[in-house]
Chain A
Amino acid sequence: MLRILSAPVFYALELTPACNNRCAGCSNGFSARERATLMPSDVPPLRAEGWLRVLEQLAPHAQRLKLTGGEPTLHPDFPTLLAAIESRALDFTLFTNARWTDPTALVQILRECPHLTGLLVSLHGATARTHESFTGVPGSFAETLANVELAITQGLPVAFSTVLTAPNLAELSEIVSLAERLRVRSVVFNRYMGESLPGLTLDETALAQALSHIEALRKAGKPVKYGNCIPQCFAPNSSQGCLAGVAYGAIDPWGNLRPCTLSSLRAGNLLTQPLEEVWHSPTMERFRASIPAACHHCHAFAVCHGGCKALALELTLPADPLARPGAPVELPAPPALRLNPAWRPTAHYQSRPEAWGLVLLQGNQLLPLHADARPLLETLDGQKTVGELHEAFGPPILALMGDLLRHHMLSFTS
Chain B
Amino acid sequence: MQNDANNNEKSKGGLQLLFFESESGLPVISVLLDATCMLLTWSNSDSRTIDDNCACEPG
Contacts and interface: CB of A to CB of B under 8 A. Distances in A.
Interface of A: 1-4, 10, 12, 19, 21, 23, 25-28, 64, 66, 68-72, 93, 95-97, 117-118, 120, 122, 124, 134, 159, 161, 163, 186, 188, 190, 193, 218, 221, 223, 225-228, 238, 240-244, 246-248, 260-262, 296-303, 305-306, 331, 334-342, 356-357, 363-365, 368-370, 372-373, 376, 386-387, 390, 394-396, 398-403, 405-408
Chain B contact-residue range equals 35 or more
Given A299-B27, A301-B20, A334-B28, 5 more contacts: A120-B52, A243-B50, A248-B53, A339-B37, A406-B29
- Of B7, B12, B19, most A-chain CB atoms within 10 Å: B19
Contact of A118 (B12, B26, B51): B51
A2 B19 contact: yes
Contacts of A10: 50, 53
B10 A395 contact: yes
Given A19-B58, A387-B1, A399-B9, A305 B20 contact: yes
A396 B18 contact: no
Contact of A297 (B14, B23, B49): B23
Contacts of A2: 19-21
Nearest to A187: B52
B9 to A, nearest CB: 4
A399 B1 contact: no
Given A66-B50, A161-B57, A299 B17 contact: no
Given A298-B22, A336-B41, A337-B41, A193 B56 contact: yes
A238 B28 CA distance: 15
7 contacts: A23-B57, A26-B59, A27-B59, A163-B57, A188-B55, A334-B30, A341-B33
Given A340-B38, A395-B13, A396-B12, A122 B57 contact: yes
Nearest to B28: A334
Nearest to B17: A368
A405 B32 CA distance: 13
Contacts of A161: 52, 55-57
Contacts of A97: 58-59
A240 B3 contact: no
A408 to B, nearest CB: 7
